[in-house]
Amino acid sequence: MTPARAPNPPPAQAGFALIEVVVSALIAVTVTGAVIGLLNSTGRAGASERHRSQAFSIAQEDQARLRSTRITDLDVAMKPQTVTLNGTPYEVKSTATFVSDKTGTTSCGSESRSDYVRLGSEVTWPGMGSAKPVLLESIVSPVTGSLDPTHANLAVTAVNGAVPPVAISGVNLSATGPGAFSGSTDSNGCALFGGQPAGEYVVTPSLGSEYVDPNGNAPSPETVTLTAGTTAVLPLVYDRAGTVQVGFSVRNSTNVIENSFDDAVTATATGLENGAKIFGNPGGTLIRPVAATPLFPFSYSYNFYGGSCPTNKPESGSANVLVAPGSTNTPTVQLPALYLTVKNSSGSAISGARVTVTDTKCSVSGTPVKRVYTTNSTGNLPNPGLSWSTYNLCASASISSTVRHVNTSGVVVHSLEGTSETMTILSDSPTGACP
């Protein structure tokens, strides 16, 4: 008897079985991926911890090295070094800072004393990503006699022009004299060099090109004298320079404010050397604007006026400008006006006359500041703006085929509303052109 054959499963059941197989495979793949990811993360975490553990060990060794170094030799011991451990190069940055126990900050004041030295060891390694460096710090107290009483200390402080001032870190310093040393200011704007031979040193600071001192000059060498058994303090003040583009205006004879020109502009401020600084081309070509740069950003305003002499400073028409670090300002200075008209004996305006205007109160290297104009079709100066001062005038033109001139002295040009003056060249005026 032939056994009965089992019937084939319905098509619906066969499809369901196939779906179960696919889902099971997807679950297996997902679980496998998760396991592999977990293993990778665990491996990376393990490698990171291994690097950190080795970095910690290197930092401990560096601390031991620093603590066993004489205080006078710490400047040499602080040079960066690379330590290779198990095939990984670790960068070690060592620091040593003199600290006042009273304040807990770097000892850079003239009256503070260095009660102890803070030693720091910072270790980094390749591929550390966002991980923080390993940093170990400790302190040592200088024992009696460890600092040579025949030597001296130098404390350098660096701050900006803010009120209150803000410390500038990273100012590189090098000094030459009886000894030689170098370093840079820390986060407190301080650098202290201990145990240096007494005598006169030239300290050269170095900072970014955008920084200037209060007089607008780039950081330059400073001379300081170290006296045995004492700490000398060298204060440095720098900040990012600003620029002021000074334009000029004048009220013309028709009562309209128009652009004007000057040869120079003077900036005054109490913090400047001699209280003032001149920009432009004194006694030279008239320009607009005059670039006053670089300028130190004081916490108070500069005053700007046209001209290059203190006697050009007006009672009105100057501009007060507060200069911010790295900024550019564009103020306008209104100049007083000289409404000069050159005429002939019949009262007609002379166009093309040569007019020489000499400032009687301002000179450059002993030579009076002088300007030369040519009158326009109405016999007037093409632009009436002048620096605030007193002037001598000379006008010359061809009268009946002969060049003649006329002079006027002591013309006061102070008014922003304008000063009127008429010069008449006669047929019997002195011959010759104005200089």
Span 112-138, average pLDDT:
82
Identify the CA nearest to 412 among candidates 380, 389, 384: 389
CATH level 2 (architecture), domain 148-238: Sandwich (2.60)
Considering Cα of 115, then 99, then 221, then 245, what sign does the dihedral take? negative
* Topology agreement, domain 240-334 and domain 338-425: yes
- Sketch the domain layout of the chain as residue ranges: 37-143, 148-238, 240-334, 338-425
CATH level 2 (architecture), domain 338-425: Sandwich (2.60)
One-letter-per-residue 3-state SS of 268-324: ECCCCHHHEEEEECCCCCCECCEEEEEECCCCCCEEEEECCCHHHCCCCCCEEECCC
pLDDT class for 229, splitting at 50, 70, 90? confident
Does 109 have pLDDT greater than 60?
Answer: no
pLDDT class for 25, splitting at 50, 70, 90? low
Measured distance CA(248)–CA(305) in Å, rounded: 9
Measured distance CA(107)–CA(147) in Å, rounded: 15
pLDDT on residue 110: 44
pLDDT on residue 112: 43
| Top-level class of domain 240-334 | mainly beta
Percent of the chain with pLDDT over 90: 66
Higher per-residue pLDDT: 433 or 75: 433
Measured distance CA(97)–CA(95) in Å, rounded: 7
pLDDT class for 103, splitting at 50, 70, 90? very low
Structure confidence by residue, pLDDT tens digits, 376-413: 999 999 999 999 999 999 999 999 999 999 999 999 99
Cβ–Cβ < 8 Å for 241, 329: no
Measured distance CA(209)–CA(219) in Å, rounded: 9
Q: Is 396 left (phi over 0), alpha (psi -120 to 50) or beta?
A: beta
Measured distance CA(202)–CA(164) in Å, rounded: 28
Site of tokens 């059941």: 13
DSSP output for 179-206: SEEEEE--TTSEEEEEEEESEEEEEEEE
Span 152-170, average pLDDT:
93
How many CA atoms lie within 13 Å of 384's alpha carbon, on the beta-carbon side? 26
Measured distance CA(255)–CA(273) in Å, rounded: 39
Does 142 have pLDDT greater than 80?
Answer: no
DSSP 143: P
Higher per-residue pLDDT: 148 or 196: 196
Higher per-residue pLDDT: 148 or 95: 95
Structure token digits, residue 83 = 């330590």
Does 217 have pLDDT greater than 60?
Answer: yes
